[in-house]
């Protein structure tokens, strides 16, 4: 496995592979790998002859009061994990090589980014779209793999790809979870023992909403109230960021669950902000 650190190195290597007829799969990450990242890599490894994994804690998707400096990092361990999953390249650039001091060009999908995570993180998806487009262009990826835990993110990236006619296929993988249902996240290391004990209730409440839909409930407001009541009883250390029911592609809020519907949430627990979602069927 090669470790490349500049955009020029990555672009040159990927051009060489394409000239040889090799297709390229990309897994964009911010590192501190867990089993969810490993699933993305394993799937991507099956999709292309060459696998590029990027490891870049992208500063432009963090707000001024967010955890950029404290975000967990372990590049040596991450490199070993990427190599074990067959990565041909681990791309680990410094921020200065990705953003010039007078960087002024941004990519946005504002209609899809204004709700859910975009409510409390207004610059987040602008940073995500911009860096992901950079990675698509540098790697000339034929396919890129993302996780369903970040549902709004992958929906926004799909729209960006469609609107800009980018020649890359987007694939998503199911959320990987702990045995008690907690979605894996690099930020789970922030949780105290008390917070970790209550955190699985995020998922359990979403499953409760699904059971109500199966019993015939269609009112989005009543489903939301049921989840909030359960969290008030069983997740007292949690602070609600948002809980919404939206169309899974357009992110438009729904009043009734009578077709495709996504219940998505973010809950703050101490230093951690945990997101999860469920497709209500």
In the block, tokens 């990236």 appear at 157
Opening angle at CA 133, ends 128 and 137, nearest 5: 150
pLDDT digits (tens, 9 = 90+) for 213-248: 999 999 999 999 999 999 999 999 999 999 999 999
CATH of domain 186-280: 3.30.1300.10
What's the confidence (pLDDT) of residue 206?
98
149 annotated to a ligand binding site: yes
What's the confidence (pLDDT) of residue 109?
98
What's the confidence (pLDDT) of residue 154?
97
154 annotated to a ligand binding site: no
184 annotated to a ligand binding site: yes
Residues 6+ apart with CB under 8 A from 238: 198, 201, 202, 231, 267, 268, 269
What's the confidence (pLDDT) of residue 36?
98
Average pLDDT taken over every residue of the chain: 98
36 annotated to a ligand binding site: yes
268 annotated to a ligand binding site: no
CATH of domain 2-173: 3.40.50.620
Distances from the Cα of 126 to the Cα of 63, 133, 157, 187, angstroms: 11, 11, 11, 21
Distance of CA 13 to the CA centre of its chain: 26
Q: How many CA atoms lie within 13 A of 11 on its CB side?
A: 9
pLDDT digits (tens, 9 = 90+) for 51-84: 999 999 999 999 998 999 999 999 999 999 999 9
Domain ranges of the chain: 2-173, 186-280
What's the confidence (pLDDT) of residue 194?
98
132 annotated to a ligand binding site: no
For residues 201 and 230, the answer to whether their CB atoms sit within 8 Å is yes
Full strand arrangement of the beta sheet holding 272-280: 239-246, 261-269, 272-280
What's the confidence (pLDDT) of residue 31?
98
Q: How many angstroms separate the CA atoms of 51 and 90, rounded? A: 9
118 annotated to a ligand binding site: no
Q: Which residues are catalytic?
A: 37
Q: How confident is the model at residue 198 (pLDDT cuts 50, 70, 90)?
A: very high
pLDDT digits (tens, 9 = 90+) for 128-149: 999 999 999 999 999 999 999 9
């Amino acid at each position: 496995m090669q470790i490349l650190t500049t955009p020029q190195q990555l672009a040159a290597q990927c051009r060489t592979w394409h000239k040889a007829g090799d297709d390229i799969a990309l897994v964009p990450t911010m590192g501190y790998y867990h089993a969810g990242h490993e699933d993305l890599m394993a799937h991507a490894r099956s999709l292309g002859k060459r696998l590029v994994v990027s490891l870049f804690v992208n500063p432009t998707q963090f707000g001024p009061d967010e955890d950029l400096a404290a975000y967990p990092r372990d590049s040596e361990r991450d490199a070993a994990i990427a190599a074990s999953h067959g990565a041909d390249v681990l791309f680990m650039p410094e921020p200065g090589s990705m953003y010039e001091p007078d960087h002024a060009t941004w990519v946005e999908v504002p209609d899809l980014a204004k709700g859910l995570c975009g409510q409390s993180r207004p610059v987040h998806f602008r940073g995500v779209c911009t860096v992901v487009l950079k990675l698509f262009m540098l790697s000339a990826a034929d396919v890129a793999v993302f996780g369903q835990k970040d549902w709004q993110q992958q929906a926004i990236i799909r729209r960006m790809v469609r609107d800009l006619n980018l020649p890359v296929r987007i694939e998503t993988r199911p959320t990987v979870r702990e045995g008690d249902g907690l979605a894996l996240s690099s930020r789970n290391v922030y949780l105290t023992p008390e917070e970790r004990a209550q955190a699985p209730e995020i998922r359990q409440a979403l499953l409760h909403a699904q059971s109500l839909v199966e019993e015939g409930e269609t009112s989005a407001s009543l489903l939301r109230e049921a989840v909030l009541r359960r969290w008030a009883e069983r997740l007292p250390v949690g602070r609600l960021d948002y809980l919404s029911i939206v169309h899974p592609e357009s992110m438009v809020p729904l009043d009734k669950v009578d077709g495709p519907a996504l219940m998505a949430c973010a809950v703050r627990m101490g230093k951690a902000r945990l997101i999860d979602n469920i497709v209500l069927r």
